[in-house]
Structure 1
Amino acid sequence: MCGICGKRDPRGVAKDALRRMTDSLAHRGPDDEGVFVDGPVGLGHRRLSIIDLAGGRQPMRGADGSLCITFNGEIYNYRELRAELEARGRRFKTRSDTEVILALYEQSGPACVESLRGMFAFAIHDAKADRLFLARDHLGQKPLYYTDNGERFAFASEIKALLADDPSLREMDEKALHQYLTLRIIPSPRTMFRRIHKLPPGHCLVHENGSVTISRYWGLSYEPKDVRREDELLDELDERAQDAVRHCMVSDVPVGAFLSGGLDSGLVVGMMAKQFGTPVSGSEAPPGPTAGAFPTFSAGIPYADYDENPVAALVSRRYGTSGTFEKLDASIVRMLPEIVWHLDEPADPLSLCNYFISGIARGEVKVALTGDGGDELFAGYDRYSGYRYVDYYSILPLFVREHLVRRLIDFIPDRFSQKSLSQKLRWVNRLSLVDSDCRYARSLGHFFFTEEFRDELYGSRLESAVAGFDPEEALAHYFGAEDERDVIDRMLNADTMIRLPDHSLMILDRMSMAHGLEARAPFLDHELAQFAATLPVRFKVNGSRLRHLQRRLGERYLPNEVFAGGKRGFSSGISYLLNTEYGRLFSAFLRDSHLVREGYLQFATVKRIFDEHLDHEVDHHNRLWLLCHAEIWYRMMIEGATVESIRAAR
């Protein structure tokens, strides 16, 4: 895992400019750095050494010197690819996966991405073709941002590197703020910065002749469905998941794992225990302790029944891992300035959890496997089954739902806990009032700022900037894909290609790399993801039972307690844990909100939301977080406030 950056400018590229960019990415690659300049093109790199520790320095040049690459990520099948290339006569100078990508590009050009299995973002300067070629992995595990003004082009792993090169890019995209407040995510290619864009997952970018061309090289196919018997599919799922875990363990440094009390991370740990020390395709075994004794890291939340450490401890004991168990508390909010700086964009409380657990893990390992992606592949969120209930409920006449039931629900007080009865009833009723094609987007935004809230919250400047812009439209492309016949598959596709990379994986990457930790997610192996896509829907959502086939797989590896409590979510309780901190955050940032001062938000509505929450009238914990995070982000990333000044304000 590393940090990459680069520029293409007909006026030439200075090494000092590249070093400003690489310096801003030093946390991503504390082990080494390098820059390369060839006239109008420059590439930069910060390295976190994982494979071929002695070799593999970057930027790396090809055999004849006409190619140069800067690469972030890991190619898990690089040893197999290298063997195939050597059989054709190719000779290698290093043992790195970076050189394998270069060799594939020399052989196949941009089609090289079709052979790669792993997580990656890279750029190749092709001097002969006078081309800059960029690519991002299939499911968006590794980030890649760029800016282009028609003449000058620049890219980087993180937005802050682009700002270090050109501070004039500190311009907020009001439409992105609109999306964030509505959905909690900013779908690709938009970012919170007007002139900075994300390369979407599974896409390539070519910059040549002064123009940018973007093309998609991969996507999930949900049809045709696999019609084999359930037990056959279960056995193959087991084999494929084990294979993905085994490939994710390829490393020249010790490997550990995040371990919650949930199904996804538990399965990863169980399969690691089974495979640890097993050679991958005849290669060397990963270094580290003997099988079963690898380190795992768990973080509990001491609020109500959200603490998953007791269940995580059962899994750790079953497999004899060297478990570390810590607990978050409200004091983690003190790290908000650092977290916002690392994120570059506002996010949600999951960032606090990932920042905390990554810091613990980095004390022992450089690589940690995670359970990310299981919910999106196998249907782990309540809304998948809830969507069916909305269809049944919609049989009631519209007048009854809109006027009678709605008023009755308003009499049910908020319980100030995740998935309370009042929250579920409001969710079902609200979704039933909109057209079925709009329900997916509304299901994501229900707990944030709905249209009714936005009408009262937005100031004149934001209203004017977003007039006529639909914040949910970006979700329609994947939700409306033609090859998904079932609405559950349509939801899974949109979640996998938008919500996952632009929310969960973005947070995982920034918070782990903030500590120089490489996080790997076996469930995001694109071959495993494609297999999961073709599973019949009944093996994902079976009545009210979510993750049907994956749960059966879990029964082979995990204790019953993992399944007993239902899905809690890594960050579900953190917002409630922060209730004692919202008063301080309001006084420090929202009472004199700069977003209000600049005409984007209305203070009266901000104050009402805060008062209603603290008086336990309405549960606004998600909305308060979005407001606080957006305010801190605006001061730091647009106005240029430092981490130290924000910390002092608090």
Structure 2
Amino acid sequence: MCGIVGKLGRSNVSLLELQSMARSIAHRGPDDEGYWVQGKVGLGHRRLSIIDLASGKQPISNEDQTIWIVFNGEIYNFPEIKKELLSKGHQFSTNTDTEVIVHLYEEMGQDCVQKLNGMFAFAIWDDNKKQLFLARDRIGQKPLFYRHVNGEFLFGSEVKAILAADNVERNINYTAIHHYLSLRFIPAPHTMFEGIQKLPAGSTLLVKEDKITVKRYWDLTFTDKLQHTETDFLDGLEEQLGRAVTSHLISDVPVGAFLSGGMDTSTVVALMAEAHPDVFKTFAIGVKEQDFNELPFAKVVADTFHTQHVEEVVSANLIQLMPQMVWHLDEPSDSIAACMFQAAKLASQHVKVVMGGDGGDELFAGFDRYMGVGYINYYNMLPSFVRKKLLHPLFHTIPDSFTYKSLVQKLRWMDQLSDFDEGERYAEATAFFRFSHTQKQQLFSEKLWGKLADIDSNQVIVEHYNKPNATDSIDKMLYADFMTRLSEHTLMLTDRMNMAFSLEARSPFLDHELVEYLARFPSNIKIKGRQLKYILRKFAERKLPKEITSRQKQGFMFPVAYWFRNELYPFVRDQLENSFFVREGLFQKDYVSSLVEDHRNNKEDNHVRLWMLLNMEVWHQLYIEQRDPASVSETLSQSANGVKY
């Protein structure tokens, strides 16, 4: 895992500028740095040494130095590819997966991405063709950003690397804010900055003669279904999951694992124990509030597989952590980032590489909404006047307990979604705790709303839901999540929060061959009756203790809703009512105040909305006002009067 940067300019590239870009993301690669500059093109690299510790310095070239690469990620099938390339006469000077890509590009050109199994973002300068070729892995585990303005092309693993280049303006992209407030993520190609874009997952980008061509090279289809018995599905899953986990263990340094106590991470740990010759370390964090604490379940799994288990109970100082997290993210996010940040901090004290369970819910249909949207059809059988005149007011009168997945939240969710059909319903389902189109109209000033009113954030989801890649409603939801939320939210957080501590996170569930295989499973083997993740649960019964396979999904989060209602209430009110967006008349102060007070008075759980608005204010201070994280953290702590949350 590393950080990459580069520039293709109108004039000769400055080494100092490249160094400034690369050193802004030194946390991604603290072990080494390397640069290659030739006239108007330059490549830079920060290295986290995982494979071939001695000779894997980047940038790396082919034999005659006409092709140069900087690479971030891991190619899990590189030993097999290397054998093929050696048989064709290619000569290697390192044992890295990076050099394999160079020679594969010589053989296949831009189609080299089709051969790679792994997580990756890379840039190749082809001096013969005078072109720059960039690529991002199929699922979007590794990030890649770029800026093309006035004949100059910049790229980097994080937005901050591009901002560190010379003469880059920092202008807010309000379309990105509009999408973020509904979706919880910023869809490609947008970023929070005008003029800076992200390369979509599963895509390549070619720069030649100042022209940019972006092309998608991978897509997922759910239409070609397998016809197996349940035993056949389980046996096939055992083979494919085992292969994926084993391939992800390739490393020249020790590999550990996150262990939440949920079924996804527990299954990964079980398969690691089968494939791993030595005892390995597992990591879990917990909180004091017992309805959010999973440590006892993690301990059961660790004891079962005799791992070296490391756990920690944290009382997250969110006020002090928020500036650090937002700085690493380059954009605002949600409170799950704090959980991942703490887990990464713990694991990084022991290992450089850690396995996780990302993608399990999207692969096996583990989110409540996959099943819940179907129940709304039954709710809609009630007469409209009963739903609108009786139940709707009732559901919004009952105080919210703010517990995880409370009954009140479920009832309000079902009631709100009953007004929508198909793709629109699913888009609303995923945005329920955030800002709907109507709520954004209440939040935004009249002037700002006039610029954004015609942009429907739901269409980001609906567009994929309606594609012919899936026909069954469950598959449509899974496909929409794979193409949007997984890459641009979950995996974005995984990458940034782990790389904040120079920790490489691997996700065997996201092996693309496994993903394509699971897409062929009928949806009724993933959700059976009222049971989510049915086939994974049945598989887990082969590997895990009953305490794990029989428990309900709990969720990995801090009790932010409690804190914002109590100890942090004065802080939240002060920060949001006096934020830049309110002061500048972009957000309506009265509406912001109502969100805070409704949460305070148990009228509605607004903690996600409040967290998002807080993140935006912190982001503005860090990236537009250009204050350093320590300074922002100190200001926030003073505002909170010493409250430690």
TM-score range, shorter chain: over 0.9
Write the deviation string for residues 562-598 of structure 1: whole angstroms up to 9, x where unpaired: 2343111112644435654533532662232111112
Residue of 615, 625, 632 corresponding to 1:639: 625
Q: Distance in 1 between matches of 2:217 and 2:501?
A: 32
Match status 1:508 vs 2:494: yes
Instruction: Decide whether aligned partners of structure 1 residues 348 and 390 sit closer, same or farther in structure 2, where only a CA change above 3 A counts.
Output: same
Q: Distance in 1 between matches of 2:470 and 2:626?
A: 45
Q: Is the partner of 1:557 in helix, strand or coil?
A: coil
Q: Distance in 2 between matches of 1:128 and 1:89?
A: 20
Q: Is the 8 A contact 1:585 1:628 kept in 2?
A: no
Could you tell me how far 1:395 is from its partner in structure 2? 2.7
Write the deviation string for residues 5-38 of structure 1: whole angstroms up to 9, x where unpaired: 1111122211111001001010000000011112
Instruction: Decide whether aligned partners of structure 1 residues 218 and 150 sit closer, same or farther in structure 2, where only a CA change above 3 A counts.
Output: farther
TM-score normalised by L of structure 2:
0.96
- Which stretch of structure 1 is more off in the superposition, 110-119 or 555-564? 555-564
Q: Is the partner of 1:558 in helix, strand or coil?
A: coil
Q: Distance in 2 between matches of 1:387 and 1:218?
A: 29
Q: Is the 8 A contact 2:320 2:634 kept in 1?
A: no
Match status 1:47 vs 2:33: no
Q: Is the 8 A contact 1:175 1:471 kept in 2?
A: no
Could you tell me how far 1:508 is from its partner in structure 2? 0.8
Q: Is the partner of 2:164 in helix, strand or coil?
A: helix
Instruction: Decide whether aligned partners of structure 1 residues 513 and 329 sit closer, same or farther in structure 2, where only a CA change above 3 A counts.
Output: same
Could you tell me how far 1:224 is from its partner in structure 2? 1.1
Instruction: Decide whether aligned partners of structure 1 residues 150 and 208 sit closer, same or farther in structure 2, where only a CA change above 3 A counts.
Output: farther
Q: Distance in 2 between matches of 1:612 and 1:394?
A: 28
Residue of 562, 570, 577 corresponding to 2:556: 570
Q: Distance in 2 between matches of 1:118 and 1:433?
A: 42
Matches for 1:357-376 after TM superposition, within 5 Å: 357-376=343-362
- Aligned position for 2:641: none
Q: Distance in 1 between matches of 2:576 and 2:353?
A: 38
Amino acid at match of 1:139: I
Q: Is the 8 A contact 2:120 2:141 kept in 1?
A: yes
Instruction: Decide whether aligned partners of structure 1 residues 579 and 251 sit closer, same or farther in structure 2, where only a CA change above 3 A counts.
Output: farther
Q: Is the 8 A contact 2:339 2:558 kept in 1?
A: no
Q: Distance in 2 between matches of 1:440 and 1:306?
A: 26
Q: Distance in 1 between matches of 2:353 and 2:635?
A: 35
Identity %, equivalent residues: 44
Match status 1:449 vs 2:435: yes
- Aligned position for 1:629: 615
Q: Distance in 1 between matches of 2:369 and 2:558?
A: 15
Q: Distance in 2 between matches of 1:138 and 1:315?
A: 31
Write the deviation string for residues 262-298 of structure 1: whole angstroms up to 9, x where unpaired: 0000000000000003xxxxxxxxxxxx2xx200000
- Aligned position for 1:321: 307
Write the deviation string for residues 617-640 of structure 1: whole angstroms up to 9, x where unpaired: 322111111111111111211221
Amino acid at match of 1:45: H
Matches for 1:455-534 after TM superposition, within 5 Å: 455-534=441-520
Q: Is the 8 A contact 1:146 1:156 kept in 2?
A: yes
Instruction: Decide whether aligned partners of structure 1 residues 333 and 539 sit closer, same or farther in structure 2, where only a CA change above 3 A counts.
Output: farther
Amino acid at match of 1:255: V
Q: Is the 8 A contact 1:575 1:625 kept in 2?
A: no
Match status 1:182 vs 2:182: yes
Could you tell me how far 1:2 is from its partner in structure 2? 0.1
Unaligned 5+ residue runs, structure 1?
278-289
Could you tell me how far 1:150 is from its partner in structure 2? 5.0
Q: Is the 8 A contact 1:192 1:345 kept in 2?
A: yes
Q: Distance in 1 between matches of 2:384 and 2:109?
A: 57
Q: Is the 8 A contact 1:303 1:577 kept in 2?
A: no
Could you tell me how far 1:431 is from its partner in structure 2? 1.1
Instruction: Decide whether aligned partners of structure 1 residues 349 and 167 sit closer, same or farther in structure 2, where only a CA change above 3 A counts.
Output: farther
Q: Distance in 2 between matches of 1:397 and 1:579?
A: 36
Q: Distance in 2 between matches of 1:198 and 1:500?
A: 15
Q: Distance in 2 between matches of 1:137 and 1:118?
A: 7
- Aligned position for 1:280: none
Match status 1:28 vs 2:14: no
Q: Is the partner of 1:556 in helix, strand or coil?
A: coil
Unaligned 5+ residue runs, structure 2?
637-645
Q: Distance in 2 between matches of 1:269 and 1:578?
A: 35
- Aligned position for 2:523: 537
Match status 1:431 vs 2:417: yes
Amino acid at match of 1:110: Q
- Which stretch of structure 1 is more off in the superposition, 611-620 or 197-206? 611-620
Instruction: Decide whether aligned partners of structure 1 residues 428 and 572 sit closer, same or farther in structure 2, where only a CA change above 3 A counts.
Output: farther
Write the deviation string for residues 328-371 of structure 1: whole angstroms up to 9, x where unpaired: 21424421111111010001111111111111111110000001
Instruction: Decide whether aligned partners of structure 1 residues 9 and 229 sit closer, same or farther in structure 2, where only a CA change above 3 A counts.
Output: same
Instruction: Decide whether aligned partners of structure 1 residues 183 and 520 sit closer, same or farther in structure 2, where only a CA change above 3 A counts.
Output: same
Q: Distance in 1 between matches of 2:559 and 2:266?
A: 20
Could you tell me how far 1:56 is from its partner in structure 2? 1.4
Q: Is the 8 A contact 1:330 1:578 kept in 2?
A: no
Write the deviation string for residues 287-335 of structure 1: whole angstroms up to 9, x where unpaired: xxx2xx2000001122241100000000000000000111221424421
Could you tell me how far 1:507 is from its partner in structure 2? 0.6
Q: Is the 8 A contact 1:632 1:646 kept in 2?
A: yes
Q: Distance in 2 between matches of 1:538 and 1:167?
A: 55
| Equivalenced residues, count | 636
Q: Distance in 2 between matches of 1:150 and 1:230?
A: 58
Q: Is the 8 A contact 2:27 2:500 kept in 1?
A: yes
- Aligned position for 2:118: 118
Amino acid at match of 2:607: H
Amino acid at match of 2:590: A
Amino acid at match of 2:594: R
Matches for 1:162-311 after TM superposition, within 5 Å: 162-166=162-166, 168-277=168-277, 290=278, 293-311=279-297
Instruction: Decide whether aligned partners of structure 1 residues 499 and 581 sit closer, same or farther in structure 2, where only a CA change above 3 A counts.
Output: farther
- Aligned position for 1:553: 539
Q: Distance in 2 between matches of 1:164 and 1:582?
A: 34
- Which stretch of structure 1 is more off in the superposition, 494-503 or 578-587? 578-587
Write the deviation string for residues 480-518 of structure 1: whole angstroms up to 9, x where unpaired: 111311011011011112101111110110010010000
Could you tell me how far 1:470 is from its partner in structure 2? 1.1
Q: Is the 8 A contact 2:563 2:569 kept in 1?
A: no
Q: CA RMSD in A?
A: 1.5
Q: Is the 8 A contact 1:133 1:206 kept in 2?
A: yes
- Aligned position for 2:99: 99
Q: Distance in 2 between matches of 1:570 and 1:433?
A: 30
Write the deviation string for residues 59-112 of structure 1: whole angstroms up to 9, x where unpaired: 111111110000000000000111111122222111000000001000000000
Amino acid at match of 1:275: A
